[in-house]
Structure 1
Amino acid sequence: MVVEEILRRLPSLNEGERFILGIDGLSRSGKTTLTQKIQNKLQKASLPVVTYHIDDYVVEREKRYHTGYESWYEYYFLQWDVQALKGGLFKALEKESGLVILEGVFLQREEWRRFFDFVVYLQCSRELRFSREGEGTRKKITKFKERYWKAEGYYIATVDPERQADLIVKSPS
């Protein structure tokens, strides 16, 4: 149902045209799963689609941990090379044709939002997202509180992704 709703909102593209769809949401909200479902549906219909994952552009560990900044700041501001993404990946996307899907957390940041033609935001409670983590990972609750949840709170407070998104989708439980 959700996939069909998203696809209904996308334009028909002529040869050489491009449309960039962003799948945004917080950690473990279901972004990758939704992206895969959209991609599968389009491929079954023989429609061209290219998918990118922002996590493929995470910088080396030493650039995002123990940098002297607070842990949440490292996650939000240092996890990805923001300028390289802006000047590299996002510029390259402008040369693609067909439907391009970019999936990842914090996609509606000011530096990146203008590159998208349409953004879907996956709404999912912190409790559900945390329950999707592995048992060993859930034992590191302090890391979640200090790194991930504070960065997510910053994103919600400063960017307001639900207000900016073109479509809000509730993540299935």
Structure 2
Amino acid sequence: MPERVRGQRLRVGIDGLTASGKTSFGHELAEQVSRAGRPVLRASSDDFKRPWRDRHRYDRESGAGYYRNAFDYAAIRSLLLEPGGPSGSGECALCFIDPLTQTDHSSESTEAPEDAVLIVDGVFAFRPEINEYWDFRIWLEVSPEVSLCRGAARDNDESTHRDRYLPAEKIYLAEVDPLPSVDMVIDNSDFDRPRLL
């Protein structure tokens, strides 16, 4: 762990293509960090999407629309990443809008101790809107073919992954090119044998 963040709050971002294993990896990392003696908070950017009641205001169905409009980056910054940082208040909302029930949880906060590690998984995590807030960045590498296969099997819906999620990822990779900014790349093509690249 870098000396500059030892004893301070640390924000870890986990990114990768859809179905690359970000959430499971985040849970496993949180368990290991907790065993090492640091308090851990877990969050996912999926819980910071714009509410469906506002979907008539913008395109969220196409690949480009999903990439540009699905997530509320102002909420991620103000509710989670800013308070979860070394100089933040420590009062973090780990969920903005529940993606299943659409319940607003933005007023519910969790206290992040001064040495807490906040682990957040999600697609597009290293976009310019929030990239500066991470203290450590992890990219889970899988091919687009693996992403599509896993996502279709998980959600029983190949068309959404093929026509919306993968095109959105292509825009992200082309516009942002996040890999040069990451601290660690892990080949997660085989869940049972992740490999540090």
TM-score range, shorter chain: 0.7 to 0.9
Partner of 1:157: 174
CA offset digits 1:20-78 (Å, max 9, x no partner):
11111111001111111111112233321111111111222243478357711221121
Question: Which residue, 100, 103, 128 being the options, matches 1:110?
Answer: 128
Please, which of 30, 42, 56 is the counterpart of residue 51 of structure 1?
42
Report the number of matched residues. 162
TM-score using structure 2 length? 0.72
Q: Name the residue aligned to 1:74.
A: 65
Q: Secondary structure at the match of 1:35?
A: helix
**Counterpart amino acid of 2:127?**
R
Q: Percent identity?
A: 28
1:40 to 28, 31, 36: 31
Cα distance in 1, alignment partners of residues 152 and 63 from structure 2: 21
Is 1:145 the counterpart of 2:186? The answer is no
Q: Which runs of 4+ in 1 moved over 3 A?
A: 9-12, 62-70, 134-140
* Contact 1:54/1:103 (<8 A) preserved: yes
Local SS of the residue matching 1:80 = coil
Q: Name the one with the larger helix percent.
A: 1
Task: Report the alpha carbon displacement of residue 162 of structure 1 after superposing the two structures with TM.
Answer: 1.4
Distance 1:69 1:37, change over 3 A: closer
Q: What's the Cα RMSD here?
A: 2.4
93-102 vs 17-26, which deviates more? 93-102
Contact kept, 8 Å, 1:123 with 1:168, in 2: the verdict is: yes
Q: Which residue of 2 aligns with 1:167?
A: 184
Q: TM-score, normalised to structure 1's length?
A: 0.81
Unaligned runs of 5+ in 1: 1-8
| d(CA) in 1 for partners of 2:186, 2:69 | 28
Q: Distance in 1 between matches of 2:188 and 2:75?
A: 30
